[in-house]
Amino acid sequence: MITTKDKLLAFLSYLGIIGWIIVLVVFQNETPKNNFLKFHLRQSLGIILLSLAGGFVFYLLARMFNLWFVLNAFSFIIFMYWVLGIVYALTGSMRFLPYIGDYFDEQLSFIQ
């Protein structure tokens, strides 16, 4: 059963590194472990890491080759994933983000 508290914590995990760390601390202190929070911790960390790494790479490409539209397109895609993750969290859904969510779930399996 997914409670309002679970939804709020899942939402908080999408609000940057500090929100993610707060939810991780709450998650680590819970017994038994909440699969809903674990799922959204993995998805939100994936978005955070993708935005940092991809933002750096696309920023360098934009500076070197004057391809600012590529950086803007990437930023828009990240924003859409962020909004979709928040919507999934607030509705109590455990759906993967399109195209990248299952990869995040596999690669970030250290979140137990």
Predicted local confidence at residue 84, as pLDDT: 98
Predicted local confidence at residue 1, as pLDDT: 87
Ranges of residues in the chain with a pLDDT under 70 are none
What residue segments make up the domains of the chain, in order of their start? Answer: 4-107
Nearest to 85 by CA among 73, 74, 101: 101
pTM score, whole prediction = 0.93
